[in-house]
A and B are shown apart, each in its own frame.
Chain A
Amino acid sequence: MRSLVQDRDRTATASAVSLAGVDVAFRLAGASTFTAVRDTSLAVADGEFVAIVGPTGCGKSTLLNIAAGLIAPAAGTVDIFGVGLGGLNRQAGYLFQADALFPWKTALENVAIGLETAGTPAREARQRAGDWLSSVGLGAFGDRYPHMLSGGQRKRVGLAQVLIRDPKILLMDEPFGPLDAQTRQIMGNLLLDLWSADRKAVLFVTHDLEEAIALSDRVVIMSAGPAARIIGDWRVALARPRDISEVKLDPAFHALHRDIWHVLKAEVIKGYTQAEGA
């Protein structure tokens, strides 16, 4: 009887995303396999903003695809709110690194489609899409096609497209990677604003340590691949709400940055040497 109650408790407080002992392997030409990620465990609590940082090619994005259910792990388990994940993760929204908007749809249609697929009537979907475009600052751009928008504007549309579905989990794969430094900062602040409204669980992949610390509650460091694993986990105790440009002036930010960079640096160098050698 007691154990039953405990079980239920555990489910109620289960992590939004929980990876346990996950291996990811890709089949190469011939019979050999390439192990991208080995024995990785990571839990993201509900409402927590976790950033994954690692050198280029360490399998950060792979981990995100696992959490999204786009690829299945070779070993280990993936639980979403305490339930094993089979197939696509229906509770997650995914913001991709590359352009993922539908080029043949206008900004408004791109945002509305996420609701329409769920059966929302077209009129209502469009109206709410208009509201979302306004909240990412693109109210006047609804009838533009993606190619008529700048890189930053496309990311805003992408953000609205994902958030309009109100996913419980937000997966972000270097979403601001291709943008210039100023736009990244603005987008980061926009993201924090939107996130603070309802505190979804966020898994944010980036190679930019400063961005990671400025945005998140926890920073997780991955080693250089192949067979990458998690080698560090820091809690970011900076007060919220934050402004990205201001938080970077905080001494606590610097101290944390120094600590993490100490660990990350070796992996980055290792990652580069491997990339050069390959």
Chain B
Amino acid sequence: MPRAQLTALQVLVAVIAVGAWYVLTTYPIFGKVWLPPFFFSNPVDVAAQIVAWFATGVIWKHLWVTLLESVLAFVIGSIGGVLVGFWFARQPRTAAVFDPYVKMANALPRVVLAPIFTLWLGLGIWSKVALGVTLVFFIVFFNVYQGVKEVSQTVLANARMLGMSERQLMRHVYWPSALSWMFSSLHTSVGFAVVGAVVGEYLGSAAGLGYLIQQAEGIFDVAGVFAGMFVLAGFVIVIDIFVTLIERRLLVWRPPAETRT
């Protein structure tokens, strides 16, 4: 499909969805407004709210807080995941000992940790960062662990025959392999960092997009809730574009995945 046509169709989906939303919340059909504005607001009010946030500049502070929390969660979670992933992959005995606990911790719905983190770390950004870290850590950890374990045996034998010491193997073989696995999950882990930040804010905070949504919900300001959701969606898309750019730069050596358009 040509690029222009694709874009046109993508825009069309948005137009139809928003149009339907507007019509169903504004005009009675068969004598009835099918989506009561009290529960569904309408696109005009939501747009007005978004414009107002940006015009007054209120939103920047919240965006900044959410961004900061997400970035911190991502960075700390990734560093932890890489270190522990490497450690476990190179020390099978340690991995075996910790295995049930890792599985247990990973199976736990992380949201239940939010109250604990709030208790420990207060209402500031660190309780949100902690929640994000618990989400990011496991994704990165599992990928790095896999990446180190699944280094091609031939490549490894070749590296040995080329005279690599244990340290050089780390640097030239294990590390790039683990990183490639980590970056292949970059979108997921960045997404989870944002989820951790927003959910944390929603459950108790003084700033951030989650806080904004929670505040609006508290006073039945549905337009505010939707506006918060749209800003959040835009925020995630922008971050995702950045991640894609970084990924392209770092994984140039990878064969392109077979895609058909």
Interface residues of A (CB under 8 A from B): 68, 70, 88, 90, 92-94, 96, 98-106, 113-114, 117-118, 145-147, 161-162, 165
Contact = CB atoms under 8 A, between A and B. Distances in A.
Interface string B142-173: 00000000001011011111111100100011
Contacts of B253: 103-106, 145-147
A113 B162 contact: yes
Nearest to A97: B154
Q: Which 8 A-B pairs have the closest CB atoms?
A: A100-B158, A147-B255, A145-B253, A104-B176, A94-B161, A98-B154, A117-B163, A114-B162
Given A105-B253, A145-B253, A147-B254, A92 B173 contact: no
B173 A103 contact: no
A45 B163 CA distance: 24
Contact of B165 (A102, A104, A117): A117
Contacts of A103: 155, 253-254
A9 to B, nearest CB: 31
A90 B163 contact: yes
Nearest to B256: A147
B75 to A, nearest CB: 23
Given A104-B176, A104-B180, A117-B162, A70 B154 contact: no
B163 to A, nearest CB: 5
Contacts of A102: 155, 159, 172-173, 176
29 contacts: A68-B161, A90-B163, A92-B161, A93-B161, A94-B158, A94-B161, A96-B157, A96-B158, A98-B152, A98-B154, A100-B152, A100-B154, A100-B157, A100-B158, A101-B158, A102-B173, A103-B253, A104-B176, A104-B177, A104-B253, A105-B172, A114-B163, A118-B163, A145-B252, A145-B253, A147-B254, A161-B162, A165-B162, A165-B163
Contacts of A105: 172, 253
Contacts of B173: 102
Nearest to A145: B253
Contacts of A70: 157, 160-161
Contacts of A104: 176-177, 180, 253
Contacts of B165: 117
Question: For B159, B162, B177, which residue has the most chain A Cβ atoms within 10 angstroms?
Answer: B162
Interface of A is mostly: loop
A93 B152 CA distance: 19
Contacts of B164: 117
A105 B177 CA distance: 11
Question: For A90, A101, A103, which residue has the most chain B Cβ atoms within 10 angstroms?
Answer: A103
Given A96-B158, A117-B162, A161-B162, 14 more contacts: A68-B161, A70-B161, A94-B157, A96-B157, A99-B154, A100-B157, A102-B176, A104-B177, A105-B172, A113-B162, A113-B172, A114-B162, A147-B254, A165-B163
A118 B165 CA distance: 10
Nearest to A106: B253
Nearest to A92: B161
Contacts of A106: 253
A101 B255 CA distance: 14
A190 to B, nearest CB: 20
Question: For B161, B173, B177, which residue has the most chain A Cβ atoms within 10 angstroms?
Answer: B161
Nearest to A96: B154
Question: For B163, B172, B254, which residue has the most chain A Cβ atoms within 10 angstroms?
Answer: B163
A117 B172 CA distance: 10
Contacts of A94: 157-158, 161
B98 to A, nearest CB: 27
B216 to A, nearest CB: 47
Contacts of B255: 147
B197 to A, nearest CB: 32
